[in-house]
Amino acid sequence: MEKLQDTLKETWHFYRKTLTLVARGSTAYYAWCLLLLAFIAIGLFYYLRQHDVGLFATNMNDQVSWGLYIANFTYLVGAAAAAVLLVIPAYIYHFKPIKEIVILGELFAASSVIMAILFVMVDLGRLDRFWHMLPVIGKMNFPQSLLAWDVLALNGYLILNLLIPIYLLVRFYYHKEPNWKFILPFILASIPWAVAIHTVTAFLYNGLPARPFWNASILAPRFLASAFCSGPAIIIIIFQIIRKVSAIKLEDDALFKIAELIAYAMFLNLFLLGSEIYKEYYSHTVHIAAFKYLFEGLHGHNFLVPWIWAAMAMNVMAFFIFLVPHTRKRLTTLNLGCLLVIMGVWIEKGPGFVIPGFVPDPLGEIYEYLPNLLELMVSFGIWALGLLIFTLLMKVAIPIVTGEFTHTEYEREIIGLKRY
């Protein structure tokens, strides 16, 4: 009985302390959260309008039937998969500087998956029928539909990336050594699972012969290569911010190691893209139309041309920044490289990938798609929500990792009370 009471008390203490941690912070923290909340509110407002009017409220149409939402979804799945670049060196090679931050990386992955799932949800015409996709109560078309695979893969990855860090944090909280026999299988599973989520997302597009632009075998490797550029780049930036605003210590070595991995990934990414461009331009079949639309413009339609060339320039510049040890190991150039990668890959894997799949459409019609204000605002809202989730997770996770927020405090209180 007393034990149960203790457990309840401890749980209460944990929740109270968590709430205090989340609710208290510097002015910058409040400002940041308020800013995010404002974006979330605006996004929600616009989404409600879209829900009311229908997808009519967006700039998508029968020619370009997926737009900014699915572009963001594709990018974020990649960002989430990238956490594996921290998991492998941390748990398999026991590279100490990364091992200290891997939990934060996993929570970043979880936040990214949440954003990715939300982007699919807002893209659905009938959110009220979302349950049709669930197994048992709905009629999930598994294993036929790749979209069903993606639902399973993303949710599985989300569960793994919440379970592992939360388990480890709870153990740290109690000052106990994690039971590796229990958690290691999950950690090991998360590695192929990360590869799987992005592969399945690539296959989603890849399996459609109706869209020659996507129907290239090289797609899944390309997806993985670009994901292993952009995700780690975001992580490098985030870790530097965390290091500035919290007590956590992050060694530069960890950042430089991640940057080195980006250099390899970016080489692969550029190489695979080059291979695809060669094949399309040299064989010069009718399938080249989408590539021409993207890189040169087609029949005077060239919305995407400046974007993709900017992305190409950013990716190549970033590659050299990360390749040369001198620029990779200086924080200013490192951060410049990260920003270039984040933007370059977003353009390439987001709008630069989704839209040319629809232009020209199967009947040869050309419709140029640009997202409208509503789509932008809903997208900003989802990004803001993801960042807010990540911020709050960090607010609790970091004090546990650094040992400021533990069970012992509570124990001291108990001892004090007993003495009294």
Partner 1 sequence: MKVCPVHATWKEPDGIVVVDYNWCIGCRYCIAACPYKGRLFNWGEPNIPPEELNTSVHYLGNRPRMKCAVEKCTFCIQRVRSGRYPACVEACPTGARKFGNLLDPKSEIRYIIENKRVFRLKEDLNTEPKFYYFFEA
Binding residues (CB under 8 A) for partner 1: these are: 53-56, 60-62, 65-66, 120, 123-126, 129-130, 132-133, 138-141, 144-148, 151, 204-205, 207-211, 357-358, 361-363
Q: Does the N-terminal peptide bond of residue 97 adopt cis geometry, omega within 30 degrees of 0? A: no
Q: How far is the CB of 181 from partner 1 (least distance, A)?
A: 37
Nearer to partner 1 by Cβ, of 69 and 390: the residue is 69
Least separation in angstroms between CB 311 and partner 1: 23
Angle at 228 between CA 270 and CA 149, to 5 degrees: 110
> Min. distance of Cβ 156 from partner 1 in angstroms?
16
Give CA–CA dist 15/8, Å, rounded: 11
Q: Which is nearer to partner 1, 205 or 256 (CB)?
A: 205
Task: Count Cα neighbours of 168 within 13 Å in the Cβ-side half-sphere.
Answer: 22
Task: Kindly state the smallest distance separating residue 49's Cβ from partner 1, in Å.
Answer: 12
Long-range contacts of range 242-250, CB-CB < 8 Å, 24 or more positions apart? 242/104, 242/394, 242/398, 245/26, 245/28, 245/29, 246/394, 246/398, 246/402, 247/398, 247/399, 247/402, 247/404, 248/101, 248/398, 248/401, 248/402, 249/100, 249/402, 250/97, 250/100, 250/101
Question: Is residue 112 within 8 Å of residue 76, measured between CB atoms?
Answer: yes
In whole angstroms, how close is the CB of 73 to partner 1 at the nearest point?
A: 11
- On whether the CB atoms of residues 347 and 310 are closer than 8 A, the answer is yes
Question: Of 361 and 368, which has the nearer Cβ to partner 1?
Answer: 361
Residue closer to partner 1, measured from CB, 147 or 339? 147
Phi and psi at residue 298, in whole multiples of 5°?
A: -125, 120
* Residue 363 Cα distances to 62, 236, 367, angstroms: 11, 44, 11
CA distance 365 to 290: 12
70: Cβ contacts below 8 Å, ≥ 6 apart: 119, 120, 123, 354
Of 355 and 398, nearer to partner 1 (C-beta) is: 355
Minimum distance of partner 1 from residue 376's CB (angstroms): 18
List the one residue out of 80, 394, 410, 420 whose CA is nearest residue 242. 394
Comparing CB distances to partner 1, the nearer of 266 and 382 is 382
Output 24 or 126, the one with its CB closest to partner 1. 126
Rounded CA gap, 380 and 371, in Å? 12
Q: How far is the CB of 121 from partner 1 (least distance, A)?
A: 10
- Collapsing DSSP to helix, strand or coil, 371 comes out as coil
Q: Give the nearer residue to partner 1 in terms of CB position, either 342 or 378.
A: 378
Give the C-alpha distances (Å, rounded to integers) separating 235 from 70, 82, 240, 300. Answer: 22, 9, 9, 39
| Residue placing its CB nearer to partner 1 in the complex, 209 or 300 | 209
Helix/strand/coil for 333: helix
CB of 367 to partner 1, least distance (A): 12
Of residues 131 and 282, the one with the C-beta less far from partner 1: 131
Taking the complex as a whole, how short is the minimal distance between the CB of residue 332 and partner 1, in angstroms? 42
Q: Give me the least distance between CB of 81 and partner 1, in Å please.
A: 21
